[in-house]
A = this chain, B = another copy of it.
Amino acid sequence: MKTPYHETILEFFSEHRRMPSYAEIARITGLNSKSSAYHAANRLIREGWLVKDDAGKLIPGPRTSGIRLLGSIAAGFPSPAEEELADVMTLDQLLIRNPQATFLLKVTGDSMVDEGIKHGDLVLVERTTDIKPGDIVVANIDGEWTIKYFRRRGKQVYLEPANKKYRTIVPREELKIDLVVKAVIRQYR
Contact = CB atoms under 8 A, between A and B. Distances in A.
A53 B184 contact: no
Interface in A73-107: 73-77, 80, 90-96, 99-100, 102-107
Interface in A126-159: 127, 135-136, 138, 140, 144-147
Nearest to A123: B73
Contacts of A109: 73-74
A185 B117 CA distance: 11
Interface residues of A, number: 71
Contact of A184 (B72, B103, B185): B185
A17 interface: yes
Contacts of A136: 188
A65 B182 contact: no
A37 interface: no
Contacts of A187: 94-95, 182-183
Give chain A's interface secondary structure class: mixed
A188 B115 CA distance: 11
A14 interface: yes
B108 A72 contact: yes
Interface string A39-76: 00000000000000101010110011111111111111
A92 B91 contact: yes
A181 B188 CA distance: 7
A11 B87 CA distance: 21
A189 B180 CA distance: 9
Given A73-B123, A92-B92, 8 more contacts: A18-B59, A73-B105, A73-B147, A80-B127, A91-B91, A116-B116, A183-B187, A184-B184
